[in-house]
């Protein structure tokens, strides 16, 4: 239970892009004991929650309700009455066709304190991401938000169609795909020109955003041809014409590409962010999990005798963090590394070393063990030197073998294990089998082996004609080939930015598409 006492935050999650939630919204999520969230609130926002927070899904998709609204109201009251801090996370803005007003009234009647945290509503954000400003001084000075799905228990419509049709420059209709023919018919009937531009935007602000543009005369036909379904927002008005010049989001180089990220969940964020910045839909399917070594003994022994080493060779970002963490656990700190040279494989690993205010003495030009050996040999640093290699439990033996062969001594210690993620994501596997995903990415040999294990031989064979595969470098590529997985893209620079650049270049030069 939180020290803050009973309280409910009614948080607008924004329209879909997880970066569009407000700072206050994320702070409230961090405080919450219970998070009650909707279908239209991006599940990635749950990463802001405390690990021990109770997460309750109450999504409504069309006519399918996990809980009825009255039950949701009661749930909020019950959880808060138990002394919990509750975050009610709703797509868009909870007070704009989000039924947040009903929830607030239920809380007020029950004497439960609450705060409203506004969110960016889809009527503004979705058209902005489609290159459509809802107002423009040369085109319109009026803007209306209208529900396209009124309360079905109402005997008469509360919408004054005559005023809406002719008195408002830009109209945004929420939840109106199903009723689009009726909306268009009423607008035209009450005086709006059939030539008025219109756009329907599905999954606005998300990498899977779809936009159909037409006029009131043909938008229903075009939406039907495109197969557009909810959730979508409809924009009617002259401002729609500006999309031709302002369509920034859908013009990005990887827009519409669906790319599977197989890294561990803890490491995936950088890769996901870079892919999404280029417009891709990054689909997380973690195949590995980073775990403690089975035995800290060898690592502890090496740390206790750290002065005996001339070099420490870090082969990954994980190795750096895990080593420093254990160094501190043993009552030591970075001052005890004075005089020891550090080699880092890869720019990201070197950056992680520098985060601890340590100097990197050597970064080999290529991010593989062979390049480490060559660089050390050229510097005359191997013969007679002692090397500490903090690494994963399944690391290649080439580096220590070559150091020994060339007259040095290498001490390998496990600082972490890469273990198979316990459960494969059934939804992602189904999308792979259906050919709905363009590319699967591998950032290490472990991700390849575990991906193959998760799918099994039969399903792995089935997807090979339906999707492409990308590798971070030659070692990972070789592992894939040994398992019968064809690699279509290999990064020339063997790190995440290098892999992203290779993917971007590949899709700019090819028409490969399976989605």
Q: For strands 170-174 and 232-236, give the pairing.
A: antiparallel
Is 151 among the catalytic positions? Answer: no
| Contacts by residues 299-304 (CB-CB < 8 Å, ≥ 24 positions apart) | 299/323, 299/326, 299/390, 299/413, 299/414, 299/415, 300/326, 300/330, 302/388, 302/390, 302/411, 302/413, 303/327, 303/330, 303/332, 304/330
| From 31, 60, 178, 466, the catalytic residue | 60
Could you give the 3-state DSSP secondary structure of residue 14? strand
Tokens 């009610």 appear where?
A: 88
| From 33, 175, 341, 454, the catalytic residue | 175
Give yes or no for a contact between 487 and 481, defined as CB atoms under 8 angstroms apart.
yes
Nearest to 385 by CA among 471, 309, 282, 439: 309
Biggest CA–CA distance in the chain, Å, is 90
> Going edge to edge, which strands form the sheet with 210-215?
143-147, 170-174, 232-236, 197-202, 210-215
| From 33, 38, 414, 495, the catalytic residue | 38
Is 175 among the catalytic positions? Answer: yes
Nearest to 442 by CA among 462, 459, 418, 426: 418
Residues contacting residue 446 through CB under 8 Å, at least 6 positions apart: 287, 288, 392, 394, 418
List residues bridging with 213 in a β-sheet: 199
State the DSSP string of 350-378: HHHHHHTT----B--SSSSHHHHHHHHHH
Nearest to 22 by CA among 30, 14, 33, 34: 14
Is 60 among the catalytic positions? Answer: yes
Nearest to 36 by CA among 53, 56, 52: 56
Give yes or no for a contact between 471 and 494, defined as CB atoms under 8 angstroms apart.
no
CB environment 195-231: b (16+ within 10 A), e (fewer): ebbbbbbbbbbbbebbbbbbbbeebbebbeeeebebb
**Crossing angle, helix 398-405 and helix 369-378, to 10 degrees?**
20
| Residues annotated catalytic, as ranges | 38, 60, 175
């Amino acid at each position: 239970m939180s020290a803050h006492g009973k309280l409910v935050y009614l948080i607008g999650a924004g329209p879909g892009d997880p970066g569009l939630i407000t700072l206050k919204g994320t702070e409230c999520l961090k405080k919450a004991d219970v998070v009650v969230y909707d279908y239209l609130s991006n599940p990635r926002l749950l990463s802001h929650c405390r690990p021990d927070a109770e997460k309750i899904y109450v999504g409504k998709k069309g006519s399918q309700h996990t809980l009825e609204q009255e039950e949701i109201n009661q749930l909020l009251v019950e959880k808060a009455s138990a002394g919990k801090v509750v975050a009610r996370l709703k797509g868009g803005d909870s007070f704009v066709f989000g039924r947040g007003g009903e929830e607030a009234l239920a809380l007020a009647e029950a004497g439960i304190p609450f705060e409203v945290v506004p969110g960016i509503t889809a009527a503004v954000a979705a058209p902005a991401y489609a290159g459509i400003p809802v107002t423009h001084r040369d085109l319109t000075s009026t803007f209306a938000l209208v529900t396209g799905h009124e309360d079905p228990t109402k005997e008469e419509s509360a919408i004054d169609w005559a005023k809406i049709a002719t008195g408002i420059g830009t109209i945004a209709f929420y939840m109106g795909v199903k009723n689009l023919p009726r909306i268009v018919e009423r607008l035209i009937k009450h005086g709006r020109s059939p030539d008025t531009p219109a756009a329907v935007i599905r999954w606005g602000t998300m990498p899977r955003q779809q936009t159909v543009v037409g006029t009131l005369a043909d938008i229903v036909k075009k939406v039907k041809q495109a197969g557009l379904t909810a959730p979508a927002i409809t924009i009617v008005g002259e401002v729609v014409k500006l999309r031709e010049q302002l369509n920034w989001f859908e013009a990005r180089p990887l827009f519409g590409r669906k790319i599977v990220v197989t890294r561990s969940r803890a490491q995936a964020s950088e890769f996901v962010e870079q892919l999404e910045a280029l417009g891709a839909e990054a689909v997380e399917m973690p195949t590995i999990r980073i775990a403690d070594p089975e035995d800290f003994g060898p690592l502890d022994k090496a740390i206790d005798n750290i002065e005996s080493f001339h070099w420490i060779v870090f082969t990954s970002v994980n190795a750096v963090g895990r080593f420093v963490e254990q160094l501190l656990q043993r009552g030591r700190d970075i001052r005890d590394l004075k005089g020891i040279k550090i080699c880092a494989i890869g720019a990201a690993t070197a950056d992680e070393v520098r985060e601890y205010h340590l100097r990197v003495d050597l970064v080999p030009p290529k991010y593989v063990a062979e390049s480490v050996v060559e660089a050390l040999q050229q510097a005359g640093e191997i013969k007679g030197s002692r090397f500490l290699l903090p690494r994963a439990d399944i690391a290649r033996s080439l580096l220590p073998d070559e150091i020994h062969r060339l007259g040095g001594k290498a001490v390998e210690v496990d600082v972490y294990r890469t273990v198979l993620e316990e459960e494969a994501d059934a939804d992602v596997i189904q999308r792979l089998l259906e050919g709905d995903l363009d590319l699967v990415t591998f950032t290490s040999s472990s991700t390849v082996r575990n991906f193959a294990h998760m799918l099994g031989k039969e399903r792995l064979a089935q997807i090979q004609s339906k999707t492409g595969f990308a590798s971070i470098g030659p070692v990972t590529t070789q592992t894939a080939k040994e398992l019968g997985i064809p690699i279509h893209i290999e990064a020339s620079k063997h790190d995440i930015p290098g892999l992203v650049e290779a993917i971007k270049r590949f899709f700019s030069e090819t028409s490969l598409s399976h989605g």
